[in-house]
Amino acid sequence: MTASVVDTNVLLVANGANDKANAEPGAACRLSAIDSLVEVTERHTLMLDRGDEILDEYKKKCNYSGQPGVGDQFFRWAHQNAASLTAVELTVHPNRRFTEFPDDPRLAPFDWDDRVFVAVAVAGPTPNRILNAVDSDYRNHQHALQQAGVTVEELCPSLLTGP
């Protein structure tokens, strides 16, 4: 079974919102995000970190009550089920944020907040994947991420810019 690391933008798109100014997700993108979150919850395949960095990222953008959107429901489910989900230990690193984040100069511009998702994917059991809806950082760094063993499933590829 494939384990999943879910970027916060998937939750936002499932909620019908977006924090990226350059991408407006449409109905097909939102449905893809919703379907992916439902799949992860039904199979209990979400991967987290033991330091709750990912849950803290979700908390910044989602409502713990589980309302009003599917992304909020997913956040609540992840929080309530965290103890039974796969979680990996991450080690803080001053330059890369986490030791588990690949030490590759091509990844130096990768978003600091999103490094937790990559670090968990690298540290977790394989096979695993990162689910992404609208963050072009993953596409812009796809070759370096692939060489580090990170698979990114782009849920809304037509909205992404980059190579």
Read off the pLDDT of residues 96-134 as tens digits, 9 standing for 90 and up. 999 999 999 999 999 999 999 999 999 999 888 999 999
Q: Report how far residue 139's alpha carbon sits from residue 122's, in angstroms, rounded to the nearest whole number.
A: 17
Task: Supply the pLDDT for residue 19.
Answer: 52
b or e along 40-49 (b: 16 or more beta carbons within 10 Å of the residue's beta carbon)? Answer: bbeeebbbbb
Task: Supply the pLDDT for residue 20.
Answer: 52
Task: Supply the pLDDT for residue 123.
Answer: 97
Q: Report how far residue 90's alpha carbon sits from residue 97's, in angstroms, rounded to the nearest whole number.
A: 10
| Phi, psi (deg, nearest 5) at residue 86 | -65, 130
Task: Supply the pLDDT for residue 95.
Answer: 95
Task: Supply the pLDDT for residue 18.
Answer: 58
Domains of the chain, residue spans: 3-126+133-157
Task: Supply the pLDDT for residue 21.
Answer: 47
Q: How many CA atoms lie within 13 A of 121 on its CB side?
A: 27
Task: Supply the pLDDT for residue 26.
Answer: 85
Task: Supply the pLDDT for residue 69.
Answer: 94
Task: Report the predicted TM-score, pTM, of the whole model to 2 decimal places.
Answer: 0.93
Of 55, 29, 38, 11, which is closest to residue 156 (Cα–Cα)?
Answer: 29
**Which segments of the chain have a pLDDT < 50?**
21-22
Sign for the pseudo-dihedral over CA of 82, 88, 93, 99: negative
Task: Supply the pLDDT for residue 1.
Answer: 76
